[in-house]
Amino acid sequence: MKAFISAAPKWIGTGMMGLMLAGAVQADQHGMKADIVDTAVEAGQFETLVAAVKAAGLVETLKGEGPFTVFAPTDDAFAALPAGTVDDLLKPENRETLTSVLTYHVVPGKIMAEDAMAADSATTVQGQDLTITTMDGKVMVNDATVIQPDIEASNGVIHVIDGVLMPE
């Protein structure tokens, strides 16, 4: 946890994004915490992820009671995939594969960064395990780095990652 706290000033910006990146809890217009999907939409850096969640038909699931822990790749993470990968995944005929990729980013329960740092793996909703390591004060999930931990939502927590996790 100390690694995230000491690194926090680098992430702090201004406005809504600054509050979110500082680990603040997002709230809807009624002062309630937003769910995982709405929190991701508000962040503005997960447009590809949100489009994929919609294409896979997982919006209602991720708006559900939970709790869920989502390792959320940024738009830049999706852009770094080989050309055509995202377009192929979003095709209706590839919905099953897309669902598998997306559910590989979701772990049942609410796992905060401090708990994740103490773990060496986590079983995803998809069924396979993610490897969790800490290197140079950074939490790694498989080959992706957690670049912003502990964004709380009404039904779980989001950890922003810099890569897309692909199941075997």
What structural domains does the chain harbor? Answer: 2-161 (2.30.180.10)
**Long-range contacts from 77-84, C-beta under 8 angstroms, 24+ separation:** 77/144, 77/161, 77/162, 77/163, 77/164, 78/48, 78/49, 78/164, 79/48, 80/163, 80/164, 81/164
Mean pLDDT in each 10-residue stretch from start to end of the chain (168 residues)?
A: 30 30 41 87 94 96 95 97 96 96 96 90 96 89 96 96 96
- Tell me, what's the pLDDT at 32? 64
